[in-house]
Structure 1
Amino acid sequence: MFLKYIKELSVKKLLKSTLKHANSNTFSTPIKTVGLLIDESYFQQKEQLKQLIIQNGIKENNIKIIVFKDKIKKNDAYQELTFSNKNMNWKGVLKKDFINDFINTPFDMLISYYDVEKAPLLIITHNSRANFKVGISKIDTRLNNLMINTTVENYTVFTEELFKYLKILKKI
């Protein structure tokens, strides 16, 4: 348990040092593809969130979901691609191919749907090749282009606000 805590602190320190040199990119294309990064430790309504995104004009086959869980049981089957802290080494390198594929996919928008800073989630958000990154305002503001002030439980408020701003920006 103590080593897990030290590992988390070590990776966060590495990430924060790279964030000092982060530059915010601008996006000019309409939103068609969406990456959805969810912390299922605190939020289990991922299917409802996905349906709200679809109702706002994003096609279902253009949404790719990856889920973080604190503990993964070996015999359990998961609907979505699922990972945990065990899939990251002490230097913040993620070991699973599907995680690196998700990071390297050039989404039009990445939705980082978590409100507790956990090293693997921060690493994925930071390293993602998404053109536009959206998250909840409790997370480090340097990671995302748009921050929505709500909690994870209020996914309807989150999607309403997100698509309101995307319409204002003429991205939908």
Structure 2
Amino acid sequence: MFLNYFKDFSTKKIVKNNLSNVKHLASDSIIKTVGIIFDESYFYEREDLVKELIRKGIDEKNIKVLVFKDKIKKNEVFDYPVYSHKDLSWTGTVDKKEVKDFITEPFDLLINYYDTEKVALLLVSNLSKAGFKVGFASIDKRLNHFMIDTNAENYKVFMSELFKYLKILNKI
């Protein structure tokens, strides 16, 4: 228990230091590829959010999902990539192959779909090579290029606001 607390503290300090050195260089490209980071602790309508993206014109094969769970049971099987606190190292890196692949993917849009700050979520969002990052206003302002002020349970409002502003910014 104490070691997990110390590991979280150490990783959070690394992430906060990295966020203070972030240079926001948002791309001007049209959005074709989308990455989504979910916190499955609070939000379970992952499929509905992906269907909403498809309905808005994003091709299903261009949508990648990464899910964070607080605890992964030993015999649990998933049809999507999942990671937890156990996949973080003490030095602020991620050791799981699926997460490393997600981080290095150059998405046109990264949706950080979580509204509570957790070290594992902040780390992956910060390390992502996405050109344009979108998230909730309740998260550290330095992490995202664009923030929407709503809660995670109301995904339809989030998506309508997101696509309204993406259209204004000429990204779709």
Compute the TM-score of the two structures, normalised by the length of structure 1. Answer: 0.97
On the 8 A contact 1:92/1:120 being kept in 2, the answer is: no
Q: Does 1:74 align with 2:43?
A: no
Secondary structure at the counterpart of residue 165 of structure 1: helix
Residue 150 of structure 1: SS of its match in structure 2?
A: coil
Residue 107 of structure 2 is aligned to residue 120 of structure 1? no
How far apart, in 1, do the equivalents of 2:56 and 2:127 lie?
27
Partners of 2:159 and 2:2 in 1: how far apart?
37
2:159 aligned residue: 159
Query: Which whole-Å CA distance do the structure 1 matches of 2:74 and 2:66 have between them?
Result: 18
Letter in 2 for 1:34: V
1:96-130 C-alpha deviation (Å, 9 max, x unpaired): 11101100000000000001111111111111000
Counterpart of 2:58 in 1: which secondary structure?
A: coil
The Cα shift of 1:2 comes to: 2.7
Q: Say if 2:125 is the partner of 1:111.
A: no
How far apart, in 1, do the equivalents of 2:116 and 2:91 lie? 20
Q: Quote how far apart the aligned CAs of 1:5 are.
A: 2.0
Residue 30 of structure 2: SS of its match in structure 1?
A: coil
Deviations 1:45-74 (A, max 9, x none): 000011111111101110000100000012
Task: Give the Cα separation in 1 of the matches to 2:26 and 2:44.
Answer: 31
Q: For 2:14 and 2:34, locate their aligned partners in 1 and report how far apart those are by CA, in whole Å.
A: 27
For 2:40, give the aligned amino acid: E
Q: CA deviation at 1:3?
A: 2.2
Q: Where does structure 1 lack aligned partners over 5 or more consecutive residues?
A: none
- Cα deviation per residue 1:8-54 (whole Å; 9 max; x = unaligned)? 12111111111111100121110000000000011110000111111
Q: Among the aligned pairs, what percent are the same residue?
A: 51
Corresponding position of 2:32: 32
What SS does the aligned partner of 1:112 have? Answer: strand
Structure 2 unmatched ranges of 5 or more: none
Match of 1:149 in 2: 149
Could you list the runs of 4 or more consecutive aligned residues of structure 1 that deviate by over 2 angstroms after TM superposition?
A: none
Amino acid aligned to 1:141: K
Q: Tell me the CA shift for residue 92 of structure 1.
A: 1.3
Q: Please report the RMSD computed on the Cα atoms of aligned residues, expressed in angstroms.
A: 0.8
Instruction: Report the AA paired with residue 13 of structure 2.
Output: K
Corresponding residue number in structure 2 for 1:170? 170
Q: Secondary structure at the match of 2:37?
A: strand
